[in-house]
Amino acid sequence: MVLANPIGVIQEFAHPPWGILSRELIGTFGPGPVLASLTRIRGAVNVDAYGLAWSVSTAPAGAGRRVRAVTTYEDQFLQIAVLYTELLGNTFFGEVQNVQIDGQYFMWQQPTPTAVDIWIFPNFSVTLYWLVSL
């Protein structure tokens, strides 16, 4: 028997379908500036989640908030930097996301990061959530 579209183990777990994800509250950070390193440790895995979601709790007057189909801000209010550790123990940021759109979901490209560093722009408060599977 030959499978028409074989799926590797890493592909299967790296990006689950949106429909089986749920948000797990991390907390509200701010008002900024805030710099934090986030982990969700489960066994040998430092970040047992597929990504982050966020919601702006408070924004300063004059933040350039525009409400259309999505709410955007004139400037970035959040930076997400996904930290990985390679085989020899060196760490590096595999992905950096600068955020201006409220209420989005972000899944990292590679599974099991070492940590997720976040920076919140001055005078913003942002609620963060892990994206986890059912």
Average pLDDT over residues 64-81: 94
pTM: predicted TM-score of the whole model, two decimal places? 0.86
Inform me whether the pLDDT recorded for 11 exceeds 60.
no
Band of the pLDDT at 3, cuts 50, 70, 90? very low
Q: Are strands 105-107 and 91-99 parallel, antiparallel or unpaired?
A: unpaired
What are the domain boundaries of the chain?
29-133
What is the pLDDT at residue 5?
A: 47
Q: Say how many CA atoms lie within 13 Å of 7 toward its Cβ.
A: 8
Maximum mean pLDDT: which of 13-27, 39-53, 78-92:
78-92
**Cα–Cα distance for residue pair 83/34, rounded to 1 Å:** 17
Mean pLDDT of 15-35: 92
Rounded to whole angstroms, how far apart are CA atoms 34 and 124? 9
Question: What is the overall mean pLDDT for the chain?
Answer: 89
Tell me the average pLDDT across 106-130: 95
Token couple for 48: 């047992």
pLDDT of residue 10: 54
The CA distance from 113 to 39, in Å, is 9
Considering only CA atoms, which of 69, 70, 42 is closest in space to residue 56?
70
Residue 2 has pLDDT above 60, yes or no: no
Q: In this predicted structure, what is the pLDDT of residue 18?
A: 85
Rounded to the nearest 5 degrees, what angle is found at the Cα of 42, between the Cα atoms of 103 and 36?
Answer: 50
Cis peptide before 111 (omega within 30 of 0): no
